[in-house]
Amino acid sequence: MIIIFGTKPRFTTLSTGQFFCPHCQTKRDYALRSGRNWFTVYFIPLIPLNALGEVVTCATCGTNFQKEVLSMPMPAATPLDRFAREARADMDSGTPIEFVRQKLINTGLARDLVDQTIAAAVGLDRRKCPTCALTYRAIVERCAQCGAVLQPLA
């Protein structure tokens, strides 16, 4: 007879709300969760073991932070700052710069202001898709449209 046993962490949600996510660089929903290791037999948790502590999990990006992140002040909430943070978060997640630019233009911002906002959010390091010619932030590795490997912008 084979007995399968081990330990497994389990988390319970203590509270939810909104906070400034350092990873997304904007206001996001969060869950404050408490973790504990459990002794398991046949993958069924039976005996609670040591407490793992509390973490704050961003509902959008899934990144875990220490509980102290909830006491951090929100940055200035001017509309332009918000647009810049959201544009950077979109581009960090793999949205092409051209799509973000059009999204900002559709919100009613002037084209020169849109270009300044994107330049501030992206910087000089960019990559380009050799197939569909879309440009991306340097941290993105594959094209969201065709899946091609991106090349440095010449």
pLDDT per residue as tens digits for the range 64-86: 999 999 888 876 666 777 788 88
Q: Determine if the pTM surpasses 0.85.
A: no
Closest CA to 23 of 73, 52, 57: 57
Rounded to an integer, the average pLDDT of 30-56 is 90
Name the average pLDDT for the chain.
87
Whose tokens are 């290791």? That residue is 37
What does 15-51 look like in DSSP terms, one character per residue? EEEEEEETTTTEEEEEEEEEEEEEEEETTEEEEEEEE
Rounded to an integer, the average pLDDT of 16-29 is 85
SS3 124: coil
Distance CA 84, CA 114 (A): 9
Per DSSP, which regions of 42-93 are E strands?
Answer: 44-58, 64-65
Tokens at 104, concatenated: 């900002």
Confidence of residue 52 (pLDDT cuts 50, 70, 90): confident
Closest CA to 19 of 10, 11, 27: 27
Q: Are 153 and 128 in contact (CB under 8 A)?
A: yes
Tokens at 69, concatenated: 């992140």
Whose tokens are 């440095």? That residue is 152
Tokens at 42, concatenated: 């046949």
